[in-house]
Amino acid sequence: MRGLRGLFGSQPGPLPAIRIQGPAVNTHCTEFEVNNWIVSEFVVGTLVPIVGVHPFPLNELFLMVSAVCRLKPDYIVEWGTHLGMSARIFYETSKRFGLDIAIHSVDLPDDTVHQEHPGLQRGMLVKGLHEVTLHQGDGLTVCLEIHNRIGKPNAALVFIDGDHNQASVKRELAGVMTHMPDANILLHDTFYQSEKSGYNVGPYKAIAEAMAVAPDRYRRLSTDTGLPGMTLLYQLTQSKVPGL
């Protein structure tokens, strides 16, 4: 035993920290880019066993993770908590890649009658996680209150997934664009198909109207292969090349 202590030391030192490689690459360049293999392994190996692929199929999980890792917000505000699926996705992404993001999730009050309100199951997937704060009220109103309290520019990612009526989405999107001009914005249920499909294309039309007012303000990434569809409106801030 003494020989082993002499060989390896009587008090082993702390283990070296394991550094997790983040997916964001070429952040000093002009285009949105992530390492697709890293994101894929995380989505398939970690997220799918926890949240499955409904309501967010693989391509939408991929976009959510990519947006968080590339844009690195200080905080995320989302509305449409439901069971807490999207909040859990954001939480797991932040934890896996060491991003330390505060997540705020808003849903309607418990006594509200709405076909998508989860009742007592609201936020069940994130309850007890101190990085996730659950709120109740109007999504946009609560979002702006949080933003005004935190007061950080270039720090927010907003996820709009509440009422998918065109007028509602237009109001929410316009409110974020006006009062949080530096925020990046994710929206759900944004797939477009022609009228014969019978789909609700209200969110798609709301985005088109907003983009027409400010055509050069955001760049856009969308999952366009089928329902439900997700769109990221983002503004890239380029990082400097290391060493320059």
> Quick one: three-class SS letters along the chain?
CHHHHHHHCCCCCCCCCCCCCCCECCCCCCCCCECHHHHHHHHHHHHHHHHCCCCCCHHHHHHHHHHHHHHCCCEEEEECCCCCHHHHHHHHHHHHCCCCCEEEEEECCCCCCCCCCCHHHCCCCCCCCCCEEEEECCHHHHHHHHHHHHCCCCCEEEEECCCCCHHHHHHHHHHHHHHCCCCEEEEECCCCCCHHHCCCCHHHHHHHHHHHHCCCCCEEEECCCCCCCEEEEECCCCCCCCCC
Residue 19 pLDDT more than 90?
no
Q: Report pLDDT digits (tens) over 195-226.
A: 999 999 999 999 999 999 999 999 999 999 99
Domain presence at residue 214:
yes
Per-residue confidence band for 120, with pLDDT thresholds at 50, 70 and 90: confident
Number of domains the chain is built from = 1
Is 47 a domain residue?
A: no
pLDDT at 133: 98
| Residue 82 maps to a domain | yes
pLDDT for position 1: 46
| pLDDT surpassing 50 at residue 138 | yes
CA distance 91 to 93: 5
Mean confidence (pLDDT) of the chain: 90
Predicted local confidence at residue 25, as pLDDT: 97
pLDDT at 182 over 70: yes
Domain presence at residue 213: yes
pTM of the prediction? 0.89
CATH number of the domain enclosing 151: 3.40.50.150
Is residue 41 assigned to a domain? no
Residue 21 belongs to some domain of the structure: no
The residue range of the domain holding 114 is 72-233
